[in-house]
Amino acid sequence: MEPVVGDAGTGARGVNESSAVEGVSTDGMTPVSAADVIRAHALTKIFDAAGSRTVALEDADLAVRAGEFVSLIGPSGCGKTTLLRLVADLEAPTSGELEVTGRSAADARLARAYGYVFQSPVLYDWRTVQGNVMLPLEIMGFDRAERRRRAFDLLAMVGLGDFANRYPWQLSGGMQQRVSIARALAFDPKLLLMDEPFGALDEITREALNLELLRIWAATRKTILFVTHSISEAVFLSTRIVVMTARPGKIERVIDVDLPQPRGAETREYPRFFELEREVRESLRGTH
């Protein structure tokens, strides 16, 4: 298996080229008749180690349409990250069916169809911020001028244009995670996989980056599959929330988030926001 450097993508379009995704409305980020970017049926993952057998994920059925922002939430150990890693072809399913961008997960990985943002930024301290964003483009053989152009555009998009020549150790945790997001978008992938990227940050920084991520999502029209333990974060970011049960991890229910777009700080004060938080919380209580 090829190494994953926090990103993968087709690299066909520049980051400022057409931001519309086929089948997605341009006024409210609502998919209208889009093909599924992720399609899983009866997906199961069992880990066998040292004589023990752990069913991490069992019979998961999920379809994620182009342009959606779908969050996975559930108790620790319920298979959220396992499902993300199966989509990324970092783990192989024990049984079931899985398609990513209309092909097998392995073929999607080889086609650089997704970008992956890990729980920690996973940046190289000896490379500048710009150098970290350009790294996957170097691996793919993009010429220097194109690497620099894409890095410049992406760093500007995440609000770090003035920090291109700094090093990761000179940035705050939130800034480092923004670099990681920029790097994951370098190939202009169709799909962004995010594994609790803001979980280690303080609440103020986390809410600021939630706003930033929604702005990036609106600008790029990517499909996002996002893992979180935060009910508030899931409600604020998502178009749909997938509630998962305790091990063995199963999909308990999928909740549509009908909050209007675009969302801002005031969204967290809407009565509907609190109603959705309560609905997710009650669903989680039934998963233990």
pLDDT in tens, 206-255: 999 999 999 999 999 999 999 999 999 999 999 999 999 998 899 999 99
- For residue 269, give Cα distances in angstroms to 251, 263, 274, 276: 29, 11, 8, 12
Three-state SS for 116-184 is EECCCCCCCCCCCHHHHHHHHHHHHCCCHHHHHHHHHHHHHHCCCHHHCCCCHHHCCHHHHHHHHHHHH
Per-residue pLDDT tens over the stretch 54-71: 999 999 999 999 999 999
Compute the distance between CA of residue 212 and CA of residue 65 in angstroms, rounded to an integer. 22
**Position 199: which residue type?**
G
Q: How far apart are CA 137 and CA 280, in angstroms?
A: 39
Residue numbers of the chain with a pLDDT score lower than 50 = 1-5, 7-33
pTM for this entry? 0.86
The CATH number of 36-285 is 3.40.50.300
